[in-house]
Amino acid sequence: MLALTAFFAGAVLMALELLGSRLLAPSLGSSIFVWGSLIGVVLAALSAGYALGGLAADRWPARAGPALVLVLAGAWTLVLASRGEAWVAALAGRVADPRWGALLASAVLFLPPGLLLGSISPWLVRLAAPATHRLGRVAGNLYAVSNAGSIAGTLATSFWLIPWLPAATILKALAAILAGAAVLLAGRRHLAVALPAAAVLGVAVVPAPAPAPLTADGARVVYQRNTLYHHLRVEDRGDSRFLRFDNSWQSGMYLHDPVTARFAYTDVMHAGWALNPGARRVLLVGLGGGSIPKRVLASYPDVTIHVAELDPVVVDVARRFFHLPGDPRLRVYVEDGRRFIRRAPQRYDLVLLDAYYADAIPFHLTTRQFLEEVRSRLAPGGVVVANVIGALEGPRSALLRAFYRTYREVFPEVYLMPVLPVEPAELQNVILLAREDQGEPGPLDREELARAVEAWAARHPELEALAAAARWIYDRPVPVDDVPVLQDDYAPVDALLHFERDNPLPDGLRPGGGS
């Protein structure tokens, strides 16, 4: 029974660490800061738990001690199931820096259960080896079993539980496991353990209430689910429907008109056609709600579009809730964008990158090496268009300037088009255009690019935001000496993401990582 207890304690602890990312994501995102905070807090809790568990084991060498600790850990896990997300939201609102906000939330939620579960192993060693001549063998075996439980908990939670069950349901199941292990360890006749364990079990088996159909600000939640990559939510707000990943706005759609752009940046990305009017073969990395492919299919009857989307749930949501059509000119590949580009079945006239969003950026889709792979799949005259969220100038411009510097390493022509007339120091959607050297007469100046964009917008008046964006093309020098070229072995995109945490939703601004 001691070995089984060690196994369960290890499994539950790792399951809690992984579930922590799902509790923190709706308010704090899923950046490296979140994962670093969770791992650091759990390691700190284990260190303290090992020390305190050893002291407690010498003072109370009886099974009731670790059994009660398991019950307490189970009770805390129940609290996380009911209040965890609300606590994270409250803490995130009090700390502006995303690093310290993630660390504080991780500590408040997971330091207590980590400390409690960390104390179990030394206590079990004391119970299993009262004589010191067998201590090494017993300790080694119990820690091996505990680590085996950690492996099982990690794989089960990440491969099956999180993709298929709500986080609250998993947490309640973990609480029940801890309570059951406590009873088995202490024995059913030990009432000081059995009664609180029964209480934890009783609460754990009560079905969770249905999620509230309305958010705190009045949005109607149409659908939500934890996927392998995000906490995904579909919300209706007035005449519009929105897709959210964690705490980022991803896509929008008018309920009465699924094709017209709800966010202006999706129209402005059509500036790529202004640089390559004959583009017929298009690749989009990042599907989101499908705003870009819907408009492409509606506006360009002779264009085919391939989409690389990592998350199969996103594809399903785009079809079920955002009217993504089953058009033969549209093919959606459930695959990482970079992997798809390496094996792409053809060259493309236009590559649209809409996989960068506000709280986390897949760094491997930002690097010089990635852009070289993209360039290798471009047809002659091909253009790359990227939606980037950042500031053009000022203290929060480092991310966008690093993008610009990296693109200039690969493409001789790079242009910046803010989506809306926002102050350069403000965070905003900026469309980055890049293409190969077209020879004489050389790169376009601001007026030439504006005329090309306006001409394309005149041919397609349904792209309402495109003509306006031509008026505020950014043509000032972009200083890049203080920002890195993003490389596969060094792309500090999380550190460059200095933005306010409120993430409001002004019209036309700041959805990202999917159209």
Could you report the per-residue pLDDT of 64-110, keeping only the tens digit for each?
999 999 999 999 999 999 999 999 999 998 988 888 999 999 999 99
How far is the CA of 376 from the CAs of 280, 282, 348, 436, in angstroms?
17, 14, 10, 11
Per-residue buried b or exposed e for 198-221, using 16+ beta carbons within 10 Å of the residue's own CB: eebbebbeeeeeeeeeeeeeebee
Token couple for 107? 């500590």
Mean pLDDT of the chain: 92
Q: Determine the pLDDT at residue 512.
A: 53
Q: Determine the pLDDT at residue 437.
A: 74
Q: Determine the pLDDT at residue 247.
A: 84
Annotated binding site: 309, 336-337
Q: Determine the pLDDT at residue 360.
A: 77
pTM: 0.89
Q: Determine the pLDDT at residue 404.
A: 98
Cα separation of 55 and 292, whole Å?
Answer: 61
Q: Give me the amino acid identity at 504.
A: P
267, 311, 349, 354: the active-site residue: 354
Q: Determine the pLDDT at residue 422.
A: 93
Annotated binding site for S-methyl-5'-thioadenosine: 309, 336-337
Structure confidence by residue, pLDDT tens digits, 158-180: 999 998 999 999 999 999 999 99
Task: Please state the three-class secondary structure of 351-390 as a single string.
Answer: EEECCCCCCCCCHHHCCHHHHHHHHHCEEEEEEEEEEEEE
Sequence length of the chain is: 515
Residue 489 is among the residues annotated as catalytic for this protein: no
Cα separation of 412 and 433, whole Å?
Answer: 11
Q: Which regions in the chain score pLDDT beneath 50?
A: 498-511
Q: Give burial (CB, 10 Å; 0-12/13-18/19+) of 511.
A: buried
Q: Determine the pLDDT at residue 315.
A: 98
Domains of the chain, CATH where assigned: 2-205 (1.20.1250), 262-496 (3.40.50.150)
